[in-house]
Amino acid sequence: MAGHTKADEHLSDYERVVCYHTLPRVSHPLTLGLIAAYAVCLVEALAAIAIGVYLGHPWWLRLGSIALVGLIFFGLIVFTARAFINEVRRRKALRATEGVPDARESAHDLPDPFEDHILLHHPSHTRGTLFSLTDNHDTDGYTVRAGAQRGCWLVTDLSTGDVLEVNTVEHGRSFQFGLNLPARLVARRDGQDVAQIRRLFSMQEQKVDIEVLSPTPMSLQLRNQGFFVDNRLVGRVYFLRGSFYLDIHRSCFNDGVLAYFISEI
């Protein structure tokens, strides 16, 4: 029988600001230019090896082999160093939030930048588990049951009892190690499609198109962990202390966003 796991986490006001605004600025993903330049150098090294083998010239073969080995080690050093620097910056930004108390509820003169936002979170989980989506006070909002088939979920709204069915249409492909996220998802209510989610193939940070069909049509795109509507930032997803967080403007929260969020396993 599946266990019911629930996150017992509270995101402080300062942590929320850092996760929403600061972390995306201090972490720099690999650029397409860098990836393209590295790929061109690899192709040139392989071409030199091929010329050496085809023409029987040891000099070309030796030159290409040395260049290929050098490029492999260079790539390992550069890409590892980039990931390490990003992680150091991330930890430094989060360390600054330690011990900072929440803003007092009585401080009405301080505007709340997240007043119109919905914040949901759930723990990292495995296939076959039953888990809750809770708010920042650990109040259950939704329960999610993973289906018997891989890539299927049933999401129950505890306030209304409505059920959202999320199914994987196409499994994903990614250059990011360890990720095997669905490439295409469909969200349904009462047998009718209400949203479609499509993860775009990318060598950088994942990009996701979310097309909401009902009740209010809307198009969103997720890039660099931020939700955008007409290039306007309306929300983010982030990972902290073993939990995934969805932080989005209330007017832009819909079945498509919810379906995307629960598929992030």
The range of the structural domain enclosing residue 83 comes to: 22-95
How many residues are given for the chain? 265
**45 and 134 fall within a common domain:** no
Lowest mean pLDDT among 8-12, 104-108, 167-171, 180-184: 104-108
Identify the CATH number of the domain in which residue 155 sits.
2.40.160
3-state secondary structure of 189: strand
With respect to residue 85, please indicate whether it lies within any of the assigned structural domains: yes
**135 and 233 fall within a common domain:** yes
Alpha carbons 166 and 185: distance in angstroms, whole number: 7
Beta-sheet strands, E only, within 99-191: 117-123, 130-134, 140-146, 152-157, 163-170, 184-189
pLDDT, averaged across the chain: 81
The pLDDT score that the predictor gives to residue 227 is 96
Domain count across the chain: 2
pLDDT at 7 over 60: no
What are the CA-CA distances from residue 135 to residues 106, 150, 180 (Å)? 21, 27, 27
**50 and 174 fall within a common domain:** no
Alpha carbons 131 and 152: distance in angstroms, whole number: 14
Amino acid at 4: H
The pLDDT score that the predictor gives to residue 6 is 45
**222 and 164 fall within a common domain:** yes
**46 and 145 fall within a common domain:** no
HSE of 197, CA atoms in CB hemisphere, 13 A: 29
**208 and 79 fall within a common domain:** no
Quote the pTM value. Answer: 0.74
The pLDDT score that the predictor gives to residue 178 is 42
The residue among 156, 128, 158 whose CA lies nearest residue 5 is 128
pLDDT more than 70, % of the chain:
80
The pLDDT score that the predictor gives to residue 2 is 41
**91 versus 99: which is more confidently predicted?**
91
